[in-house]
Amino acid sequence: MIDLNKSSSLNRRNAELNDALEAIHFGFRALIAKPDARLAEISYSRVHHRILYFIARHPDSSVNELLDVMGVSKQYLNRPLRQLTEAGYVDVKADVRDKRVKRISLSYIGEKLEFELSEEQRKRFEKVFKEAGPLAEAGWREVMALLISSGK
């Protein structure tokens, strides 16, 4: 026999969890809309922004270090990184101690593009964190940290 109370509470919980999934989907879509539109203007995609963002935060990384930071494969990174390098957004230099290691950093125009794309997102976070308040921001950060750590 089915316990209707238990079934009802499971359905409610599933509905709440589905709401959370939708919130993260639509929130992320809102966060990336303007940067994605700008990237499309220059025939790039979100992966290009991601690469620029992480190189900006980890300048002079090796390609392997960038792979580790981003948690992606060499195949994922190869083509868009090459495009960014050929277009002059990313500089690649041989490591001073080991010439086999390539160090990557953003060029001046790469820094400008990364700032333009990410600044819109930082402003959006600043606005919503201010509206939600410090407790809500702290709760959001805790949830995100738990999502990240539970995926490892």
Per residue in 18-63, pLDDT (tens digit) is 999 999 999 999 999 999 999 999 999 999 999 999 999 999 999 9
User: Which domains, ranges and CATH numbers included, belong to the chain?
Assistant: 17-150 (1.10.10.10)
- Assess whether pLDDT exceeds 70 at residue 3: no
pLDDT bracket for residue 4 (50, 70, 90): low
Q: How far apart are CA 103 and CA 133, in angstroms?
A: 40
pLDDT digits (tens, 9 = 90+) for 98-151: 888 999 999 999 999 999 999 999 999 999 999 999 999 999 999 999 998 987
Q: How far apart are CA 17 and CA 28, in angstroms?
A: 17
Q: Phi, psi (5° rounding) for residue 138?
A: -60, -40
Residues whose CB is less than 8 angstroms from the CB of residue 51 and which lie 6 or more positions away in sequence, other chains included: 66, 70, 77, 80, 81, 84, 90
pLDDT at residue 76, as a whole number: 93
